[in-house]
């Protein structure tokens, strides 16, 4: 076969990939980007009462018990199965009732609050590591560039998370990313780097923009000292693309004959002409060049270049198919493989040859080494349905062994977790017990709540049928757990859904944090972080910088204070997520959650 047709096919395919998704985290599967018709569901908010309420407590508390409203601190004694209290002025009509002498409760993942941060966009603790591997800002909207967030910055903000009631932090993949960029969006109108962590180059090292090994160790240790577990985002479906800069740095692939004259001395500095976009550099590359053997190699990935296998469409073969034309790891193969050529020649890698190892063995070893060395408590698994279940079972088993090893080697560390936890991203999974729970997963991400919570933000009683359905399903004959959210990096920000209205952003805290199962806060849900520059890729704007200025100058305080109060109440009472839901009355709206000896009653009154 001649080179030109295959090159053209691959280039067209890659441009299609970039035009469709931007390719971070398997976005071909996620919901459509938010449209500008986003405020339609934010009207009709009910008016929360500030008047005294008489609340039925059911069997959560008995006559004579003293209960406290956690929001106001006021107390009342149960009489005839009821208490009478007045909501705090800023409580949005809520009473958060707990026993005055409530015992301290043990952590359970079903009652956890997980805070999801995109490390690069959350907090910049060290400005001296903002530019590495020749990466540069674009001097424009900085849509797909690195912004400076790092492990040190996240560590500095752990007290903030603790005050929010967070007991687990989910960090985006910390691995060294591709050094260069790919064209972003359907118009190729920005440079898209691996700032999000889903374009891995070397799974054995942290990316220098994120920080050092010791800084990651400090992050984990300091989180554990506060009782906060660390959930690390991992990817076994794909590595990152080969960029111009990585081709030059690691001597992989090749250019079309004579085309090097069109590149600057440092290939990653290439810029399109005025009539071109950032996809145009593909025309310089020979995708049939023998030099692609120096990259991952045909035994490691399907990529449709050089002598590599061409992956099928992921909609036809979800396991062997390529997502967004990313190289697809051959995790299902039982063939023994060598270390990829570029890693054999990479000076600072910690990757070594493993005797008799398959692709899956290498990846599992690299990922679980982070558990063995640092004591990571869990994995959030990206694109789980695009890897065979046997791989996840192996990952879970070896991650548990690694955590046990860490505990044995570090007996003095305040490690809160004993059992390793894994949660799967399986678009568009709902609240149902699927086969993923038999493949090593303790929970799956629930994609339904983001839309359902809009009605609850307008008026909390609208959530009761949802709460009841979730609780009944998760507490059935074969119990399970899900993690629910209102914002994510691959869908929408609730602040945009709510048209940046503080009242809705405040009220939605109850809708989310009272949802049965694990609740996930996306950084800035609690502070009104706004949608950022997005170019022709509608998901990029969901990853705007954390709005610390709004927090520091007090603009976010009315919303943030409410989130903190509800988050702290949830942290005190795992029953809110793990307990069974029972509605006690409709007017006022009252329900209880009971889990073992942990019991709460939550009431909402409206005028």
Residues carrying an active site annotation: 382, 425
Phi then psi for residue 431, to 5 deg, are -85, 85
Question: Residue length, the chain?
Answer: 607
Pairing of strands 53-56, 82-85: antiparallel
CA distance 175 to 205: 6
Residue 434, both tokens: 């699927």
Please name which of 535, 583, 555 lies closest in space to residue 144, comparing C-alpha atoms.
Answer: 535
Residue 98, both tokens: 């707990």
Residue 35 buriedness (CB in 10 A; 0-12 / 13-18 / 19+): exposed
Name the CA radius of gyration of the chain, rounded: 25
Exposure class string for 212-230: b at 16+ Cβ within 10 A, else e: beebbebbbbbbbeeebbb
Cis before 179 (ω within 30)? no
**Count of CA atoms in the C-beta half-sphere (13 A) of 110:** 18
Q: How many CB atoms lie within 10 A of CB 537?
A: 25
Exposure class string for 494-512: b at 16+ Cβ within 10 A, else e: bbbbbebbebbbbbbbbbb
DSSP string for residues in 310-366:
PPPBTTT-TTTSBSTT--EE-TT-----PPPHHHHS-TT------TT--HHHHHHHH
CA angle (598 as vertex; 596, 604 as ends), nearest 5: 130
- 3 state DSSP class of 125: coil
């Amino acid at each position: 076969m001649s080179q030109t047709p295959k090159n053209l096919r691959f280039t067209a395919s890659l441009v299609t990939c970039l035009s469709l998704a931007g390719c971070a985290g398997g976005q071909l599967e996620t919901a459509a980007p938010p449209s500008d018709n986003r405020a339609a569901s934010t009207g009709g908010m009910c008016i929360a009462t500030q008047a005294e309420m008489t609340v039925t407590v059911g069997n959560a508390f008995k006559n004579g018990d003293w209960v406290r409203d956690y929001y106001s601190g006021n107390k009342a004694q149960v009489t005839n199965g009821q208490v009478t209290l007045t909501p705090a002025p800023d409580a949005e009509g809520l009473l958060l009732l707990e026993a005055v002498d409530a015992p301290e409760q043990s952590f359970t993942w079903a009652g956890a609050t997980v805070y999801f941060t995109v490390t690069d966009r959350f907090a910049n603790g060290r400005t001296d590591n903002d530019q590495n591997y020749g990466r540069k800002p674009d001097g424009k909207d900085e849509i797909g560039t690195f912004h400076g967030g790092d492990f040190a910055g996240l560590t500095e903000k752990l007290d903030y998370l603790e005050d929010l009631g967070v007991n687990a932090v989910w960090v985006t993949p910390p691995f060294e990313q591709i050094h260069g960029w790919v064209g972003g969006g359907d118009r190729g109108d920005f440079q898209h780097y691996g700032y999000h962590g889903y374009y891995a180059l070397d799974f054995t090292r942290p990316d220098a923009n994120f920080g050092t090994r010791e800084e990651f160790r400090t992050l984990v240790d300091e989180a554990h000292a506060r009782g906060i577990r660390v959930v690390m985002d991992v990817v076994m479906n794909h590595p990152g693309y080969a960029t111009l800069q990585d081709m030059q740095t690691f001597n992989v692939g090749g250019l079309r004959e004579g085309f090097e004259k069109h590149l600057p001395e440092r290939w990653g500095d290439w810029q399109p002409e005025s009539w071109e976009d950032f996809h145009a550099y593909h025309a310089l590359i020979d995708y049939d060049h023998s030099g692609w053997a120096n990259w991952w190699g045909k035994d490691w990935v399907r990529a449709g270049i050089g002598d590599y296998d061409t992956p099928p469409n992921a909609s036809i073969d979800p396991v062997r198919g390529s997502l967004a034309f990313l190289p697809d790891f051959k995790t299902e193969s039982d063939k023994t493989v060598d270390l990829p050529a570029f890693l054999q020649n990479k000076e600072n890698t910690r990757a070594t040859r493993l005797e008799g190892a398959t692709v899956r063995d290498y990846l599992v070893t690299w990922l679980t080494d982070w558990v063995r060395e640092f004591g990571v408590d869990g994995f959030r698994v990206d694109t789980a349905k695009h890897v065979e279940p046997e791989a996840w079972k192996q990952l879970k088993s070896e991650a548990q062994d690694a955590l046990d090893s860490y505990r044995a080697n570090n007996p003095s560390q305040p490690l809160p977790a004993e059992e390793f936890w894994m949660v799967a991203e399986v678009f568009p999974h709902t609240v149902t017990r699927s086969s993923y729970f038999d493949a090593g997963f303790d929970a799956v991400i629930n994609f339904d709540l983001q839309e359902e919570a809009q009605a609850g933000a307008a008026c909390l009683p609208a959530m009761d049928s949802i709460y009841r359905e979730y609780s009944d399903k998760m507490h059935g004959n074969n119990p399970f757990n899900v993690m629910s959210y209102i914002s994510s990096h691959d869908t929408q920000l609730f602040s945009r859904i709510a048209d940046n209205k503080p009242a809705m952003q405040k009220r939605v805290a109850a809708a989310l944090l009272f949802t049965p199962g694990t609740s996930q806060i996306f950084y800035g849900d609690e502070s009104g972080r706004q949608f950022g520059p997005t170019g022709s890729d509608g998901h990029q704007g969901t990853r705007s910088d954390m709005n610390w200025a709004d927090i520091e100058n007090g603009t976010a305080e009315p919303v943030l204070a409410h989130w903190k109060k509800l988050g702290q109440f949830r942290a005190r009472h795992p029953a809110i997520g793990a307990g069974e839901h029972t509605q006690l009355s409709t007017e006022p709206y009252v329900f209880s959650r009971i889990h073992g000896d942990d019991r709460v009653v939550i009431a909402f009154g409206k005028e």
